[in-house]
Amino acid sequence: MTNLLAGRSTLGRPATNDAHQRRRPPPPVRDIDPDQGKGWIRRTFPLLKAHRVVFLVALAAALANVVAMVLFPLWLGSAIDQALAAPGGQREPLAHYVLVLLGITITGIGSAYLSQYFTLRMAYSLEFDLRTLLYRHLARLSSSFFDRVRTGELVSRANSDVRMMQMLLAFGPIIFVQFGMFFLALYFMLTIHVGLTLLSLLSLPAVFLVGLAMRKHMYPVSWLVQSRLADVTTIVDENVSGAEVVRVFGAERRQIGVLARAAQRLRWAGIRLVRIRATFAPLMENVVRVGEAAVLLYGGFLVLDGSIGPGDIVVFLTYLVMLQLPFRMLGMLMMMGQRAAASAHRIYEVLDAEPEVVDRPGAVDLPICRGEVELRGVHFGFEDGQKVLDGVDLRIPAGQTIAFVGSTGSGKTTIAQLIPRFYDVDRGAVLIDGHDVMDLTLHSLRRHVGICFEEPFLFSASIRDNIGYGVPGASDDDVEAAARIAGAHEFITRLEHGYDTVVGERGYTLSGGQRQRIAIARTVLVNPPILILDDATSAVDVETERRIHDGLRQLMHGRTTLIIAHRLSTLSLADRVVLLDGGRIAAAGTHRELLATEPRYAAALAHLPDEEWAKVVRLERARLETPEVEWRPIDPDHLDEQGTV
């Protein structure tokens, strides 16, 4: 604990941890093409080029497999004609053909293995790249983006949409290679009999036309399926995250109904997609049966006439199946293409979204921060037109602790979010040590600002990892010291596994007060020169809050601290109090000064319960060392024009 309180120089610096660095996954090799005017496949070419070696090996193996598949029936037909059906004196040894067919089979097995292995390897590499690109871009996007987009939408795009793109990008080229089988088989068929070959091709244009019709119908429905899947994901995410709220209000039946309606809309779109596939896929597969019947009929006459041998009929029928295979796969390729196109456009909507808060050209680092904060004529409003701050001027000297008080929506939390540039001001400027925050790099700025929110977020990891999240490689002693300052050490040691206890999703296996204390410890460990506490002790009991305040008083010494105060007991930590009203600073001063001179401040405090007032009275007596006087909650109706009782 001594290191934590002695100064800021020993904290905020992660210990060297080469093993940790080695465990980090490599970043994607390439990005997508930023030109939005190109088609979605062309925009993915940089990713494909990054895996071109694996792709070419998979392609070569697929081509070898195609050649083996085409040669097998050719040699089989020759074996029938030359070793089985030939006159006795002209027969060739059957063993020769068996050995050749065995070699072709082994080649086909080996090439199929290599093709499948390298295809799947590339598929998962592409999936990794797409997900990493998406997450990396999400990390760069501004808070305003997440205000607009639902979490379920992003989860759906990062999972099912990425998978759809991966399937086509990886398997599409391999399926396309199957068309090499078509041309090889066509060549050998022409060498056997031209007329029979032309007859067998008559049904293929019909297959192509059916495929075009299926493509036309599937694209809009594929988009609809992906969109409604995102709706279901969002509802499930909200119901799981807000399970306690649902149970408190007895809304289980209603929420089940909401999910059922969304699932029903998804089912309708899914059935519509299945209906399209059920309509066109059988047509594509069975139109060619007419060609098979025609080949068998005409080929039979040619065998009887002696124009071709019986083995040639076997070759022709086998090759006819090979001619059909690419066209059958064409249907699957078109289906995958339409769903992948819909998914790609949904992913590109995210990747093409530009972050609103970015480093300016020429932005500089802030290597050392004293902690002086200044707001000059700050105006800010959200995208929906709601004006939050209206010309705020405020200077906070380095090392001072200031509390913000005001009604809900007065702009307290917004000021806290403008300092680390979660949002940018509409007009005016926010300065740190005299530097406009918009002229500083985001990384260096946020490294010097620590924020503890009212609703803390904990990861599904150990308590030790949650506390040390901001300082990877922090020592156990520093983690424990931070927990002691936050008043969390005692309850952590009472847990079965202590600091190694794994908390549930978002920390919901802990109480609200315990989550807040861990979040405070996490911020304490970072040891920032500017500390922001957004009602960070609202969920703890009075005695625990007192102990946390004792630790925070030591921690806040020498550093700039901004406190968003909704509880009167928190005001005892502040050197100065700022009253916000309607997006403006209504008054500023000490708690005692404002209480005596500002009616709106007294009115704001009068809405709190008596026990809160009693705590403030005790703190005021101890801090100001004034004689005991009779205190009572102030009724705003009993204030005169000067704000006195």
Secondary structure, 3-state, 454-516:
CCCCCCCCEHHHHHCCCCCCCCHHHHHHHHHHCCCHHHHHHCCCHHHCECCHHHCCCCHHHHH
> Which band of pLDDT confidence, cut at 50, 70 and 90, is reported for residue 24?
low
Q: Tell me the pLDDT tens digit for each residue of 125-152.
A: 888 888 888 888 777 777 777 667 766 6
Q: Give the N- to C-terminal CA distance of the chain in Å, as an integer.
A: 45
> Which band of pLDDT confidence, cut at 50, 70 and 90, is reported for residue 221?
confident
| Predicted confidence (pLDDT) at residue 15 exceeds the cutoff of 60 | no
Q: Does 419 reside within a domain?
A: no
Provide the residue range defining the domain that includes 47: 32-351
| Predicted confidence (pLDDT) at residue 186 exceeds the cutoff of 90 | no
Domain count, the chain: 1
Nearest to 4 by CA among 546, 528, 547, 560: 528
Q: Tell me the pLDDT tens digit for each residue of 551-581.
A: 677 777 778 888 887 667 777 778 888 888 8
Q: Does 277 reside within a domain?
A: yes
- Amino acid, single-letter form, for residue 611: E
pLDDT at 388: 85
Q: Which residues pair with 451 in a beta bridge?
A: 532
The DSSP letter of residue 364 is B
pLDDT at 276: 84
> Which band of pLDDT confidence, cut at 50, 70 and 90, is reported for residue 249?
low
Burial class (CB in 10 A: 0-12, 13-18, 19+), 509: middle
What DSSP assignment string belongs to 190-256? HHH-HHHHHHHTTTHHHHHHHHHHHHHHHHHHHHHHHHHHHHHHHHHHHHHHTHHHHHHTT-HHHHH
Q: Tell me the pLDDT tens digit for each residue of 294-346.
A: 777 887 788 777 777 777 777 877 887 777 777 667 666 776 777 788 788 88
Distance CA 619, CA 362 (A): 48
Distance CA 99, CA 101 (A): 5
Q: What is the longest distance spanned by two Cα atoms in the chain? A: 131
Rounded to 10°, the helix 310-351/162-192 angle is: 160
Distance CA 478, CA 271 (A): 57
Span 11-30, average pLDDT: 46
Share of the chain above pLDDT 70, in %: 79
**390-394, 401-405, 529-533, 602-606: least confidently modelled range:** 602-606
Span 410-414, average pLDDT: 84
Three-state DSSP class for residue 382: coil
Q: Does 194 reside within a domain?
A: yes
| Predicted confidence (pLDDT) at residue 2 exceeds the cutoff of 50 | no
Distance CA 180, CA 176 (A): 8
Q: Residue 118: which CATH number?
A: 1.20.1560.10
| Predicted confidence (pLDDT) at residue 17 exceeds the cutoff of 60 | no
- Label the pairing between strands 530-534 and 576-581: unpaired
Nearest to 544 by CA among 520, 574, 562, 577: 520
Q: Tell me the pLDDT tens digit for each residue of 343-369.
A: 888 888 888 878 788 888 888 988 888
Task: Kindly list the distances between the CA atom of residue 256 and the CA atoms of 153, 232, 461, 565, in Å, as whole numbers in the listed order.
Answer: 20, 12, 30, 38
Range with the largest mean pLDDT of 6-10, 229-233, 472-476: 472-476
Span 96-112, average pLDDT: 88
pLDDT at 8: 44
Comparing 21 with 408, which gets the higher pLDDT? 408
Distance CA 449, CA 432 (A): 10
For the chain, what is the mean pLDDT? 77
> Which band of pLDDT confidence, cut at 50, 70 and 90, is reported for residue 615?
low
Q: Does 526 reside within a domain?
A: no
Q: Does 324 reside within a domain?
A: yes
